[in-house]
Amino acid sequence: MTERTDTESRKLLGRLRDELAGDAPGQTRLDKITSLIATSMGCEVCSIYLFRDQETLELCATEGLKAEAVHQTRMRLGEGLVGRVAQRRQVVNTANAPKASGFRFMPETGEEVYSSFLGIPIQRLGEALGVLVVQSKDAREFSSDEVYALEVVAMVLAEMTELGAFVGEGAAMSARHSHPVMIKGTTGQEGVAEGHIWLHEPRVVVVNPIADDPQREMERLNAAVDELRVGVDKMLSLAGPDQEQRQVLEAYRMFANSKSWMRRMEEDIGRGLSAEAAVEKEQSLARARVGQAADGYLRERLSDLDDLSNRLLRILTGQGTDTGAEMPPDPILVARNIGPGELLDYGRRLKGIVLETGSVGSHAAIVARALAIPLVVHAKSVTTEALNGDHVMVDGDQGVVHLRPDDNVVAAFRDKMAMEAEALERYASIRDKPAVTQCGATVELMMNAGLMADLPSLPNSGAEGVGLFRTELQFLIRNQMPKRSELSALYARVIDAAHGKPVVFRTLDIGSDKVLTYMKPNDEPNPAMGWRAIRVGLDKPGVLRMQLQALMRASNGRPLYVMFPFVAQYEEYTRARAEVDKALERERRLGHPLPSRIEVGAMLETPSLGFAPRKFFDEVDFISIGGNDLKQFFFAADRENERVRRRYDTLNVSFLSFLEQIVERCAVSNTPVSFCGEDAGRPVEALCLAAIGLRRLSMRPASIGPVKSLLRRSNLEDLRKVIADTRHRGAMSVRPAVMDWLREQ
């Protein structure tokens, strides 16, 4: 067979466009397209498989295979050569298909007589939509030109599938973005919400994938790329000293000036694509590679290319981020990812947040918790599946998103929301009552905060103070280091808003997944166990001193509670405590009012600090157990990793025994100790923490009611016996026994 030329490729795309321009039914269009492709490629067979659900492909049209196999032949993702193309999103090109790895014989199709096989993924922006296949009796591999030409055709098919050109009967040919979808992600912030989709970055729609005049399209592409380059250069000139931002923009500049990127897009245009379609073809390939790249640096660079492609598409199409659409009254924000500043701009208008990437410890998650907005992260493909205005239900408790839910899901979800609303009314009745158990033990319930927006929750939640005020948010949402006067004014407003209740300020906890854009980035293989929190503060004492001075000035003669994060050994605490003493002495010399008293504590987030010398426990004013980090380090299970984090239970006997040991050491030294973290806000876990002797728990405001309700109905002495008996029996976890005991109560 002769090689296909660019002209022949354009002819094929021209014929495809003519077929797509009519108003024929979707099935008729697909049938004609397979015939056109087979004729143009000189092959006996052309078939199009589309997904009927996330795991199943269906033969939707064919030229050359048995007609009765259409809509009857189905295969699972990864099954056979077609399933392999769909799963790996990679081309399969073989001269001897029956002998190829993974081949599955489908007797109903009559394909046994065809030896050569070429399968091309039909994908759009990294989302697999189906597979385009050509086959012939001749035992040969298809040439690189033939593969390339078919990739261009597959891209056009993807665009037309997205635009609804192939809608017909059956699940595989149903209209896109119209059927219910359940997306399983990861809980970023608990809570449930119902609303309508608001896309943070509305998708760019390519309505003209095929073009007649390649020269005109080349000119449009070059003009748009020139505009893009000027824009990137301008952003670089305005970036200032922000090294991380400059690094990203330098990557943008590199891609914008990449000759290979331009050459590939120009080749696509030469084959018959419009400028927009050529850009999106490259973008789809970049997104597909992101999921396959194991190297973190390579993933970031591919994401940079994806973002740059979006900018170029907006220039070419004129489709800006402002589409003129009105935000719904109950917006559920959907984005690939979002920064804390952008999220704060939306504020409490949002009913829920769904992110395609992100993490449970990301800036966005911290802000979502502060605003008490349900958040689901790792919601795969949500940005390509959702449309502005789609009905959606977000279950932050389970990490599930129901997009365009059916009536049964809606009914069940609304029942759950009604039950939660009813429970909130019950909790309101005990808001001002102390958390005193049936055996007479009193447990202090504190709230976690990080924004001024949190503070109105203090009186309404029933909290007795702020057990953790995260100070890093004021650093994360800025493009430069905040001034001491700005921080002092903010901290003063926080203390004022607490109306005499204690506020424990945690000093700057950056590093790991909380990176300041204006600090030099550190490439670390394991940032969660790297240069972070108090380690940064001690190595950069100027920042720590500035923050301590701001806190002292904010106290203005009132009590001040300061806590250092991620202290791993006694020496780190003594060095940090020395900085407090230096700051006090400096404020005294300057004649500024000093705190009426100052208490300095440490967060126990590493097992090592639990075994610190007795002198540490004697000297520290208070200890707060940081449950989230301590648990991941105790079990060596990354809390961002879904495969391992759910394997380990807070009510594991080993972990409870370790916590109990810390409580006992604090009791010997008469050191106040509290527990801070997600588990403090889970009623059953909170009850067990109280039973082993923890008398102060700090949690998100919405958790205080449920925790207080269960504490007031329980006898800790009886529960302590249950825990002791379970431990004596050698059980791995006390949870089953505790749940049985609660049911009996």
- Return the active site residues: 363, 676
Task: Write the secondary structure of 124-137 as one string of H (helix), E (strand) and C (coil).
Answer: ECCEEEEEEEEEEC
Terminal alpha carbon distance of the chain: 80
Burial class (CB in 10 A: 0-12, 13-18, 19+), 173: buried
Torsion over CA: 15, 17, 18, 22 (sign): positive
Residue type for position 352: G
Report the 10 Å Cβ neighbour count for 35.
16
What are the angstrom distances between the C-alpha of 339 and each of 193, 203, 367? Answer: 21, 19, 9
Three-point CA angle 164, 169, 175, nearest 5° = 25
Three-point CA angle 182, 188, 193, nearest 5° = 55
What are the angstrom distances between the C-alpha of 393 and each of 193, 201, 380, 397, 424? Answer: 6, 20, 16, 12, 20
Provide the edge-to-edge strand list for the sheet that holds 192-199.
181-184, 400-403, 391-395, 192-199, 331-335, 352-355, 375-377, 186-189
Residues 6+ apart with CB under 8 A from 515: 244, 521
- Find out whether 131 and 49 touch, Cβ atoms under 8 Å: yes
Report the 10 Å Cβ neighbour count for 186.
19
Nearest to 77 by CA among 100, 51, 95, 101: 51
Burial class (CB in 10 A: 0-12, 13-18, 19+), 645: middle
Element (H, E) at 624: strand 622-626
What are the angstrom distances between the C-alpha of 185 and each of 193, 294, 625, 646? Answer: 15, 20, 28, 14
What are the angstrom distances between the C-alpha of 733 and each of 249, 366, 654, 695, 745? Answer: 50, 30, 8, 22, 20
Rounded to whole angstroms, how far apart are CA atoms 467 and 675? 9
Residue type for position 242: D
Torsion over CA: 76, 80, 82, 88 (sign): positive
Task: Write the secondary structure of 694-725 as one string of H (helix), E (strand) and C (coil).
Answer: CCEEEECHHHHHHHHHHHHCCCHHHHHHHHHH
Which letter does DSSP use for residue 203 in this model?
P
Residues 6+ apart with CB under 8 A from 278: 217, 221, 265, 266, 268, 269
Which letter does DSSP use for residue 460 in this model?
H
What are the angstrom distances between the C-alpha of 291 and each of 287, 380, 440? Answer: 7, 11, 55
Q: Mapping DSSP to helix (H, G, I), strand (E, B) and coil, where does residue 322 land?
A: coil
Nearest to 184 by CA among 10, 394, 11: 394
Burial class (CB in 10 A: 0-12, 13-18, 19+), 56: middle
Tokens of 256: 């914008």
Element (H, E) at 599: strand 598-604
Torsion over CA: 185, 356, 381, 102 (sign): negative
Tokens of 287: 């997104």
- Find out whether 723 and 656 touch, Cβ atoms under 8 Å: yes
